[in-house]
Amino acid sequence: MSEVKISAEPRTEFGKGGARRTRRAGKVPAVLYGHGEKPKHIALPAREFAAAIRHGGANQLFAIEISDGTQALALPKAIQRDPIKDSFEHIDLLLVRRGEKVTVEVPVQLVGEPARDTLVMHEHDTLSVTADATRLPDHLETSIDGLEPGSQVTAADVRLPQGVELAVDPELVVVVITAAPTAEQLAAETGEVGEPAEAEEAAEAPAEAAEGEAAPAQANAEA
């Protein structure tokens, strides 16, 4: 994954009020930390940051140029979003160095189609891996093509790019393939089996009762 250059400004206002003013100015409050350095509070341009995340994912590497003349290479460590506005509230950025190994969560994408009449249970949609901070994959792929019911895909089965290593148990189950339920099974689960017959019996019951009530009237008429 290539790095994205982004500008930043030092932040001198803190607290909720300062953060709100920063966001109103079209920027996102952020903090840079790591390597034993004192945390540095900065503001990033919201649009540029959002575009980079959409393109490169949550592990996008940023080359940050701060207006005070300093530079930093960093990875998003924690991103806080507003669930209603779908905007960025605050970003924690971890300082990294070129050639440094870091451990991150990477999305797992499934490739291919399993056998017919099966269901795909994606147990883990990300995997923890270790790689060079400047060569992090934006996603991993694993094939489920033609897999039959009862098949499993473990972390060890997922293809890893060169230089990327698993940071989880290789036996961790990523995907499980199961048989799709039959129409009878679905009907049984929803309680629909036998309902037509029960409905028919219920419809017939009032008719029989009505016939029974009419009989005495007919007998009286004949008398």
| 182: confidence class by pLDDT, cuts 50, 70, 90 | confident
Q: What is the CA radius of gyration of the chain?
A: 31
- Residue matched to tokens 């009862």: 150
What number of helices (H) and strands (E) belong to the chain?
4, 13
Question: What are the residues whose beta carbons fall under 8 Å from the beta carbon of 41, sequence distance 6 or more?
Answer: 10, 11, 12, 14, 29, 30, 31, 32
Q: For residue 127, is pLDDT > 90?
A: yes
Domains of the chain by start residue, with CATH: 4-96 (2.40.240.10), 98-209 (2.170.120.20)
Q: For residues 205 and 163, what is the distance between their CA atoms, to the nearest angstrom?
A: 75
The mean per-residue pLDDT over the stretch 2-13 comes to: 92
Share of the chain above pLDDT 70, in %: 85
| 220: confidence class by pLDDT, cuts 50, 70, 90 | very low
Cβ atoms of 29 and 19 within 8 Å: the answer is yes
Helix (H, G, I), strand (E, B) or coil at 132: strand
Residue 36: count of CB within 10 angstroms of its CB: 6
Residue-wise pLDDT for 146-157, tens only, equals 999 999 999 999
Element (H, E) at 101: strand 101-111
pTM of the predicted structure, to 2 decimals? 0.76
